[in-house]
Chain A
Amino acid sequence: MSDLLDQYAQAVGQNVIGQLRHLAAPLKGLKVVHVNSTREGGGVAEILHKFIPLKNALGLDVSWEVIEGNKDFFKVTKSFHNGLQGNTVALTDRLLAAYEKVNQQNAERLRPKLEEADVVIIHDPQPAALLSLCPNRRGKWIWRCHIDASRPYRPVWRYLKGWIKDYDASIFSLAEFARRLPHPLYLIPPSIDPLSEKNMDLPAKEVHSVFSKFDLDPARPIILQVSRFDRFKDPLGVIEAYRLAKKFVPLQLVLAGGGASDDPEGQIVLDEVNAAVGDDDDIHVLLLPSDAHRTINALQRASDIVLQKSIKEGFGLTVTEAMWKGRPVIGGDTGGIRLQVINHYTGFLVRTPEGAALRIRYLLHHREKLETMGRRAKRLVKENFLLTRHLKEYLALMISLLRGAEERIEVIS
């Protein structure tokens, strides 16, 4: 397992790994369980795939459980997701009963393990009710919210707060996402894994292979948005921005997305996107499987500019991924995109398709600025948004909670 840490040491430096070892030392043997609702698709699953082996390599005893749900369950949890992001959604008694029943069923299966754990980390609203269904729990329970919950639809928040208020702590990605709760609210931005297939360096040949594979013209600029087909990602706004910019510069647009098993709305939005594309051969809508990591990596590297024109965004890991590849990002002026896209330095923040179109034209006209911004973007990610920084904060948080969450905690052996 130390091989894994050695690999990261090569990517981020030995002193970063040394610090992780220092933080992990007082947590050796600690039983930690992560619980979420999908093993594939979406940023949470991607982070957990790497977090678990790394924490284990550092001496913790970490496992990952995925709750099993049915159609009604995922329908209501999608409504929770949309409601937390501010959309008005309908919560019927039948759907809420489905939510509670699925949590109850999963609690029956997971209870012994969860009650025995020293630390349980519950990701997002789907498994949030598990805490109240584990009355003999002995460890600390943390609710990790990956969603921008700054202006939630009140009935959704009121309902979920009933399940969340008894946790020992919550984690939000940014201060503006945090909701008032009667326990400490930690702020930890997420991260990307520099060694994963989605972010590792690729041979030039593999990058160039996407041109023929997806019928792209290497001679004309490519703009790309990678995201689920979700209204909050504004794929229709991206198409509009592309059409406005294409009047002035030759351009191709790639909209690459995949489904996640807990997102039943994806097909509806995809149909809207296909209708908007019409017969434009320079727009390429790619519905990729959830394991197409190398393909997404190659597409990001083959693109000139990456867009993430979200209207609402949790953190925006696709922004981080593109920046890690030295691409400037034109992003929606919202959520975690603001933390990453430093306006005019690592990309541009925009609020409208018109704004995005203007910045596309600007960057394609000023190639040297595009290159400079890309280099700065990569540096920003290296210093702040890699997995090792994320892991460091999780370890520190666990020490903090286990030692009493005081302002200054000294663990000096």
Chain B
Amino acid sequence: MVAKAKKPQNEPEEPVVVEESTPDLELPGLKLDMKPFDVRDCALLSLATGVSVQTLREFREALLSVHPSSIYHHFWGRLLQAHFDEPEYNNDFAGWAIHGLDDRSLAERLAVIDPTDYEDIEQLRTEVIDIVEQRLDESELLAWTRADQPFHFIRAQIVVLGTGIRVSDPVEMVKVISEMSSGGVFYHFIDARTRTEERTDDFSAWLGGYGYEYVDLIRELVMLDPYFSSLKEIRRKLAAIFEGYFQGRAQ
């Protein structure tokens, strides 16, 4: 199969022809789909689940049954909800381990979990449970220690909105991303990982539709780790990646 990639600005007239037999590259979203990029926005709502725990054993039991949107919320919700932008630990579970249970070992092990490493929420849940069970095996006392503050499981609800903005040329992304709301950055760069076939961000998936034309840009996007940044920082970095790429190309 041969497909014509879309002509970017500042490029010669000849169409770029992409052969299916191009050498192997580990690229997300490598499909030849040329639809415009629909810019969306989103808001995350938090809901109480009514589940709160005060010991590590109770925490483990709750983790087994709590709704997947609750696991999602406690790893990613901090980006769109009230939080301190220099947290000691990057997910709510690790935060409770230290501030509630005063168990630094557990906090460190939970904090190192990067949710982008897991195929889906269920795999992520299993990893958290494994770590908690390992800690329970190590310390009999911890099973009965009552936390200073209970852990309240919260679940997330996401409201996704159209913005009316459509991008048909990747170079337009430089401006669009710099003006994107935090909700838009969350939806396209974070939430996308849970809903796209390729488990990647929407920008990479869309650029993949251009065949190998934007391989280098996609590589840079994939390298951007969202887990330790605020949405503002992610927006700034994304805009810089797009701008740098197209400036380089223009030269």
A-B contact count (CB 8 A): 112
Least Cβ distance of A174 to chain B in Å?
8
**At the interface, yes or no: A392 with Cβ under 8 Å from chain B?**
yes
Cβ-defined contact, A413 with B164, below 8 A: yes
B residues 147-193 near A (Cβ < 8 Å) are 149-150, 152, 154-164, 179-184
| Complex CA distance for A25 and B149, rounded to whole angstroms | 40
**At the interface, yes or no: B50 with Cβ under 8 Å from chain A?**
yes
**At the interface, yes or no: B82 with Cβ under 8 Å from chain A?**
yes
Residues in A with CB closer than 8 Å to B184 are 19
| Complex CA distance for A184 and B81, rounded to whole angstroms | 18
| Complex CA distance for A18 and B156, rounded to whole angstroms | 23
Residues in B with CB closer than 8 Å to A261 are none
Cβ-defined contact, A410 with B160, below 8 A: yes
Residues in B with CB closer than 8 Å to A385 are 82
Interface size class of chain B, counting residues whose CB lies under 8 Å from the partner chain: 35 or more
**At the interface, yes or no: A405 with Cβ under 8 Å from chain B?**
yes
The answer, among A178, A339, A411, for a CB contact under 8 Å with B82, is: A339
Cβ-defined contact, B152 with A175, below 8 A: yes
Kindly name the residue among A15, A26, A339, A395 whose own CB sees the greatest number of chain B CB atoms within 10 A.
Answer: A15
Cβ-defined contact, A409 with B181, below 8 A: no
Residues in A with CB closer than 8 Å to B154 are 175, 187
**At the interface, yes or no: B86 with Cβ under 8 Å from chain A?**
yes
Which of the segments B41-49, B56-64, B205-213 contacts the partner chain? Answer: B41-49
Cβ-defined contact, A187 with B83, below 8 A: no
| Complex CA distance for A385 and B84, rounded to whole angstroms | 11
Cβ-defined contact, B48 with A178, below 8 A: yes
**At the interface, yes or no: A11 with Cβ under 8 Å from chain B?**
no
> Could you mark each residue 156-198 of chain A with 1 if its beta carbon is under 8 Å from any beta carbon of chain B, else 0?
0000000000000000100110101000111111000000000
> Could you mark each residue 6-32 of chain A with 1 if its beta carbon is under 8 Å from any beta carbon of chain B, else 0?
000000001110110011011000000
**At the interface, yes or no: B116 with Cβ under 8 Å from chain A?**
no
Cβ-defined contact, B162 with A413, below 8 A: yes
> Could you mark each residue 242-278 of chain A with 1 if its beta carbon is under 8 Å from any beta carbon of chain B, else 0?
0000000000000000000000000000000000000
The answer, among A25, A184, A399, A411, for a CB contact under 8 Å with B47, is: A184
Cβ-defined contact, B48 with A396, below 8 A: no
Given A18-B179, A19-B183, A178-B50; A25-B161 close (CB under 8 Å): yes
Cβ-defined contact, B45 with A176, below 8 A: no
| Complex CA distance for A353 and B45, rounded to whole angstroms | 37
Which of the segments A94-102, A361-369, A376-384 contacts the partner chain? Answer: A376-384
Kindly name the residue among A184, A187, A342 whose own CB sees the greatest number of chain B CB atoms within 10 A.
Answer: A187
The answer, among A14, A411, A413, for a CB contact under 8 Å with B159, is: A411
Residues in A with CB closer than 8 Å to B229 are none
> Could you mark each residue 210-251 of chain B with 1 if its beta carbon is under 8 Å from any beta carbon of chain A, else 0?
000000000000000000001000000000000000000000
Given A26-B161, A175-B154, A187-B154; A400-B69 close (CB under 8 Å): no
**At the interface, yes or no: B85 with Cβ under 8 Å from chain A?**
yes
Cβ-defined contact, A187 with B164, below 8 A: no
| Complex CA distance for A186 and B69, rounded to whole angstroms | 14
Least Cβ distance of B92 to chain A in Å?
11
> Could you mark each residue 379-413 of chain A with 1 if its beta carbon is under 8 Å from any beta carbon of chain B, else 0?
11001110001001101110110000111111111
The answer, among B38, B45, B156, B160, for a CB contact under 8 Å with A393, is: B45
Given A15-B180, A18-B179, A19-B183; A408-B158 close (CB under 8 Å): yes
Cβ-defined contact, A396 with B46, below 8 A: no
User: What does DSSP make chain B's interface, helix, strand, loop or mixed?
Assistant: strand
| Complex CA distance for A397 and B157, rounded to whole angstroms | 9
**At the interface, yes or no: A346 with Cβ under 8 Å from chain B?**
yes
| Complex CA distance for A396 and B183, rounded to whole angstroms | 12
| Complex CA distance for A410 and B163, rounded to whole angstroms | 12
**At the interface, yes or no: A64 with Cβ under 8 Å from chain B?**
no
Cβ-defined contact, A18 with B85, below 8 A: no
Residues in B with CB closer than 8 Å to A346 are 84
Least Cβ distance of B212 to chain A in Å?
30
The answer, among B45, B162, B181, for a CB contact under 8 Å with A412, is: B162
| Complex CA distance for A400 and B155, rounded to whole angstroms | 14
| Complex CA distance for A411 and B85, rounded to whole angstroms | 30
**At the interface, yes or no: B199 with Cβ under 8 Å from chain A?**
no
Smallest Cβ-Cβ distance to B181: which chain A residue: A19
Residues in B with CB closer than 8 Å to A411 are 159-162
**At the interface, yes or no: A345 with Cβ under 8 Å from chain B?**
yes
Cβ-defined contact, B160 with A176, below 8 A: no
Cβ-defined contact, A407 with B181, below 8 A: no
The answer, among A26, A180, A383, A405, for a CB contact under 8 Å with B157, is: A405
Residues in A with CB closer than 8 Å to B156 are 407
Kindly name the residue among A22, A400, A407 whose own CB sees the greatest number of chain B CB atoms within 10 A.
Answer: A22
Residues in A with CB closer than 8 Å to B50 are 178, 180, 185
Smallest Cβ-Cβ distance to B164: which chain A residue: A413
Residues in A with CB closer than 8 Å to B149 are 176
Residues in A with CB closer than 8 Å to B155 are 407
Least Cβ distance of B188 to chain A in Å?
14
Cβ-defined contact, A400 with B159, below 8 A: yes
The answer, among A19, A172, A187, A405, for a CB contact under 8 Å with B182, is: A19
| Complex CA distance for A339 and B82, rounded to whole angstroms | 8
Please list 6 pairs of residues, one from A and one from B, whose beta carbons are closer than 8 Å in the complex, sorted by A's number: A23-B43, A185-B50, A187-B47, A187-B48, A396-B45, A397-B45
10 tightest A-B contacts by CB?
A175-B152, A19-B181, A396-B43, A178-B48, A384-B82, A185-B48, A412-B162, A187-B46, A22-B41, A396-B159
Beyond A15-B179, A400-B45, A410-B160, list 20 extra A-B contacts (CB 8 Å). A14-B179, A19-B181, A22-B183, A23-B43, A26-B161, A172-B48, A175-B48, A175-B52, A178-B152, A187-B48, A188-B46, A346-B84, A383-B85, A393-B45, A397-B45, A399-B159, A400-B159, A407-B155, A412-B38, A413-B164
